[in-house]
């Protein structure tokens, strides 16, 4: 598949089949993802891939924390209050998701239940956590974003779907404890992945993009 085909095929998927990815396929994808570029080649990504019974146990632990009403305490600053066009696009993506799920804008409880699915990893067979040393801050986050895109495209090439989730960085404590992540390392975001349940309504969610003129200025 060409890069263009992969880019068009990749969408965020939020319902999965109960079918794990073969270990050798996982190894291949993560080995290839090591080719991602990073500032000064520091390769800050430390990735935890969790599957099977371990994933189920982590899900229970995480859901308990989320349902306890505890305030989010992310390791990195995720609290951007989007403004102007960014806010419009944020609403646009939420609308696309909730209308695909048949949830009305006014249905607060429905939206909350949909949001909670983040922390049950959308019932995916695998979840991963992207962690890096906290001191790296924005420089590390840039590298991690590039790494995540590399990973999603490699997965797409293998017919594997994914959803990058900032939500998985919101309640780091139970994850840190479960995975034995040292205090100096932070959880930036996570990703649920596996084979898409093509029949699930939520997976019909489609977002649009700005025309290139609104994002790119060509000079000369």
Ligand X SMILES: Cc1cc2nc3c(=O)[nH]c(=O)nc-3n(C[C@H](O)[C@H](O)[C@H](O)COP(=O)(O)O)c2cc1C
| Closest CB 164 distance from ligand X, rounded Å | 4
Residues 6 or more apart whose Cβ sits within 8 Å of residue 96: 205, 206, 207
Scanning residues 128 to 157, which ones bind ligand X (CB under 6 A)?
Answer: none
Contact status: 189 vs ligand X (CB under 6 A): yes
Closest CA relative to residue 139, chosen from 209, 39, 9, 47: 39
Scanning residues 11 to 40, which ones bind ligand X (CB under 6 A)?
Answer: 11-12, 14
Closest CA relative to residue 190, chosen from 181, 201, 203, 198: 181
Q: Residue 109, Cβ neighbours under 10 Å: how many? A: 8
Q: Which residues pair with 169 in a beta bridge?
A: none
Cβ contact 188:76 at 8 Å = yes
Contact status: 164 vs ligand X (CB under 6 A): yes
Q: Looking at 8-16, 32-40, 48-56, 58-66, which segment touches ligand X (CB under 6 A)?
A: 8-16
Closest CA relative to residue 17, chosen from 125, 135, 159: 125
| Closest CB 219 distance from ligand X, rounded Å | 28
Binding mask 102-121 for ligand X (x = CB under 6 A): ----------------x---
Closest CA relative to residue 194, chosen from 25, 3, 7: 25
| Rounded-to-integer distance, Cα 6 and Cα 10, Å | 6
The residue (of 20 and 145) whose beta carbon lies closer to ligand X is: 145
Contact status: 192 vs ligand X (CB under 6 A): no
| Closest CB 81 distance from ligand X, rounded Å | 16
The residue (of 12 and 156) whose beta carbon lies closer to ligand X is: 12
Contact status: 101 vs ligand X (CB under 6 A): no
How many chain residues interact with ligand X (CB under 6 A)? 12
Helical (H) or strand (E) element with 168? none
The residue (of 83 and 219) whose beta carbon lies closer to ligand X is: 83
Instruction: Tell me the backbone φ, ψ of residue 177, rounded to 5 degrees.
Output: -65, -45
| Closest CB 98 distance from ligand X, rounded Å | 11
The binding site for ligand X (CB under 6 A) comprises: 11-12, 14, 93, 118, 163-167, 189, 207
């Amino acid at each position: 598949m060409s890069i263009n085909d992969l880019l068009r095929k990749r969408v965020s998927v939020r319902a999965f089949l109960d079918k794990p990815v073969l270990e050798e396929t996982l190894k291949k994808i993560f080995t290839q993802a090591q080719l991602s570029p990073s500032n000064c080649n520091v390769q800050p990504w430390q990735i935890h891939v969790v599957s099977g019974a371990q994933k189920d146990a982590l899900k229970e632990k995480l859901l308990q924390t989320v349902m306890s009403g505890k305030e989010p305490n992310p390791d990195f600053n995720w609290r951007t209050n989007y403004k102007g066009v960014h806010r419009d696009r944020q609403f646009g993506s939420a609308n696309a998701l909730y209308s695909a799920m048949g949830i009305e804008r006014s249905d607060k409880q429905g939206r909350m239940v949909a949001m909670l699915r983040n922390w049950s990893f959308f019932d995916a067979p695998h979840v991963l956590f992207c962690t890096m040393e906290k001191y790296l801050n924005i420089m590390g986050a840039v590298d991690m974003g590039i790494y995540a895109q590399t990973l999603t495209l490699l997965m797409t090439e293998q017919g594997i779907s994914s959803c990058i989730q900032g939500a998985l960085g919101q309640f780091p404590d139970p994850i840190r404890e479960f995975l034995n992540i040292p205090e100096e390392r932070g959880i930036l975001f996570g990703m649920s992945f596996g084979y898409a349940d093509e029949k699930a309504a939520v997976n019909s969610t489609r977002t649009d993009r700005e025309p290139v003129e609104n994002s790119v200025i060509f000079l000369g």
